[in-house]
Amino acid sequence: MSVRTAAVATLLLLLPLAGCTTGSAAGPSAGASPGPVKPPPAVPDELARYKYDGSRTTAVRSTTDALAGTEYALEGACTGPAEATFVVSEAGTTTIATVTVPCDGYAHLTGVGAELPDPPLQIDLNLAGVTSAWAVLAPAGAVEQVRR
């Protein structure tokens, strides 16, 4: 191999790496976790709400009956290394729905059905590996309206 051929081959190998760095002041380094996630404001006709801010859990159960024929959804978000599983139940006894969301800091909306039992309904979460989280159980259309 000539010196010229070796120089061109080296240049072609290094060219794709030009400008790459292992971190910068302009953005987070790889593997950085987003800050705590913020829940939406009150959603009309919501049945339950859950929030974990990294040190304290707040759970709210409504005594409002589910609206007949209305499709309900759980919207939830979390931060942490993997995913979170929210459990919707009748006051911690009978499980109604289980919703798993990635802990990427973004809100995820999942339908849980139209036939929900009488209140109180609640949302629970196993906090293993979760740095912050929130979830709201409400009519699907109302959740979407609040987000607009």
Do 133 and 72 meet the contact criterion of CB atoms below 8 Å apart? Answer: no
| Domains of the chain, residue spans | 33-147
Global pTM value: 0.73
Rg (CA), the chain: 23
Question: CA nearest 61: which of 47, 72, 43?
Answer: 47
Mean predicted confidence (pLDDT) in 68-92: 93
Residue 20 has pLDDT above 60, yes or no: no
Rounded Cα–Cα distance for residues 128 and 125 (Å): 9
Rounded Cα–Cα distance for residues 81 and 146 (Å): 28
Who wins on pLDDT, 41 or 148?
A: 41
Could you tell me which residues come within 8 angstroms of residue 54 by beta carbon, excluding any fewer than 6 positions away? 36, 131, 132
At 105, the pLDDT band (50, 70, 90 cuts) reads: very high
Structural fold of domain 33-147: Jelly Rolls (2.60.120)
